[in-house]
Amino acid sequence: MAEELIISTSSDKQERYKALIPQIEALVADEPDLIANLSNIAAALKQAMNFFWVGFYLVKENQLVLGPFQGPIACTRINFGKGVCGAAWKERKTIIVPNVDEFPGHIACSSASKSEIVLPAFKDGEVVMVLDVDSDQLNDFDEQDAAALQQVMHIIERFL
Ligand code: SME
């Protein structure tokens, strides 16, 4: 596995995702350990996409519990249906929030977060974790992010 990420400097985020996703595939290809892989994926996303906060919450019993992440410290536990993460778990779908202040029940781990995207990953038909990405800019995520990050979730689902 290459241990250095080649980062596209394109101003087009689609191009940056295109350069990144095959490298994420390679990064996890020979490693079965979940925490090791999620840690490197969070770091690769932070480094290549310069996200304010990016990380995973893992379903443990009846809660989402903080997993590997990059960025400021964050809330450790989120209940089913609560916040954007809990809503993505409950609704079993990707949620894009252009303005977190307008999302009922948004959990503000950092007052600097302005917009957010959360995607669930599935094992045997059940949500087992979510990927959460926060931006300090309003309206920073769109369908391009959803599609690219969905590819990352599919890579993750292979080693769950
Ligand atoms: N804002 C999230 C909580 C997690 S932090 O953003 C890292 C939410 O409402 O679920």
pLDDT at 1 over 80: no
Name the residue range of residue 22's domain.
Answer: 13-158
- 78 Cβ inside 6 Å of ligand 1: yes
Any idea what the CATH number is for the domain that residue 128 is in?
3.30.450.40
Tell me whether residue 131 is in a domain: yes
Tell me whether residue 91 is in a domain: yes
* Residue whose CA lies nearest to ligand 1 atom number 3: 107
Provide CB contacts within 8 A for 91, sequence distance 6+: none
- How far from 33 is each of 27, 137, 141, 142, 146, CA to CA, in Å? 12, 33, 29, 31, 25
Average pLDDT, the chain: 96
DSSP β-ladder status, 126-135 and 95-97: unpaired
- 134 Cβ inside 6 Å of ligand 1: yes
- 140 Cβ inside 6 Å of ligand 1: no
- How far from 45 is each of 62, 68, 118, 128, 148, CA to CA, in Å? 27, 12, 14, 20, 11
Tell me whether residue 34 is in a domain: yes
Tell me whether residue 50 is in a domain: yes
Q: Say what percent of the chain tops pLDDT 70.
A: 99
- 69 Cβ inside 6 Å of ligand 1: no
- 113 Cβ inside 6 Å of ligand 1: yes
- Alpha-carbon gap, residue 146 to 144, rounded angstroms: 5
Tell me whether residue 24 is in a domain: yes
Number of domains in the chain: 1
Which pLDDT does position 120 carry in this prediction? 98
Tell me whether residue 3 is in a domain: no
Which pLDDT does position 2 carry in this prediction? 58
Please write the tens of the pLDDT for every residue from 50-70.
999 999 999 999 999 999 999
Which pLDDT does position 101 carry in this prediction? 96
Letter for the amino acid at 38? L
Please write the tens of the pLDDT for every residue from 106-160.
999 889 999 999 999 999 999 999 999 999 999 999 999 999 999 999 999 999 9
Letter for the amino acid at 76? T
Q: pLDDT grade, residue 89 (50/70/90)?
A: very high
Out of 109, 135, 136, mutate this one to test ligand 1's pocket (max ligand atoms within 8 Å of CB): namely 109
Letter for the amino acid at 49? M
Which pLDDT does position 3 carry in this prediction? 74
